[in-house]
A = this chain, B = another copy of it.
Amino acid sequence: MALIIQKYGGTSVGNVEKIKNVACRVRSARQDGNDVIVVVSAMGEETDRLLDLARDITDQPDEKEQDVLISTGEQVSSSLLAMALKSLGVNARSLLGHQIKIQTDSAFGKARILKIDSKRLLRELKDGKVLVIAGFQGVDEKDNITTLGRGGSDTSAVAIAAALKADICEIYTDVEGIFTADPNICPDARKLNKISYEEMLEMASLGAKVLQTRSVQFAKKYQVPIHVRSTFKNGTGTIVTKEDQDMESVIVSGVTYDKDEAKITVTKVPDMPGIASKLFTPISEANIVVDMIIQNVSTDGLTDLTFTVPQADFKKAMELVMVTAREINARDVLADTNIAKVSIVGMGMRSHSGVASKVFTVLAREGINIMMISTSEIKISCVIESKYTELAVRVLHEAFGLGENKEL
Q: Which residues of A contact B (CB under 8 A)?
A: 16, 19-20, 50, 53-54, 56-58, 60-62, 64-66, 68-69, 71-72, 75-76, 78-80, 82-84, 86-87, 93-94, 96, 98-99, 143, 145
Bound Cα distance A350, B87 (Å): 52
Q: How far is the CA of A62 from the CA of B88 in the complex (A)?
A: 12
Interface centre among A20, A68, A84, A99 (most CB of B within 10 A): A68
Tell me how many chains of this kind the complex includes: 2
Task: Pick the residue among B60, B68, B75 that contacts A78 (CB under 8 A).
Answer: B68
Whether A53 contacts B76 in the complex (CB less than 8 A), given A58-B84, A60-B87, A83-B61, comes out as yes
Q: How far is the CA of A94 from the CA of B98 in the complex (A)?
A: 15
Q: How far is the CA of A84 from the CA of B96 in the complex (A)?
A: 26
Contacting pair B72 A93 (CB below 8 A): no
Given contacts A20-B57, A75-B75, contact A65 B82 (CB under 8 A): yes
Summarize A's interface: helix, strand, loop or mixed. Answer: helix
Whether A76 touches B69, Cβ cut-off 8 Å, given contacts A19-B57, A20-B57, is yes
A84: nearest chain-B partner, CB-CB? B57
Minimum C-beta distance from A10 to chain B (A): 15
Cβ–Cβ contact A76 & B50, under 8 A: yes
Contact check: which of B60, B69, B79 meets A80 at CB < 8 Å?
B69
Min distance, Cβ A102 to any Cβ of chain B, angstroms: 14
A31 CB to nearest B CB, Å:
19
**Which residues of B sit under 8 angstroms from A143, Cβ to Cβ?**
99
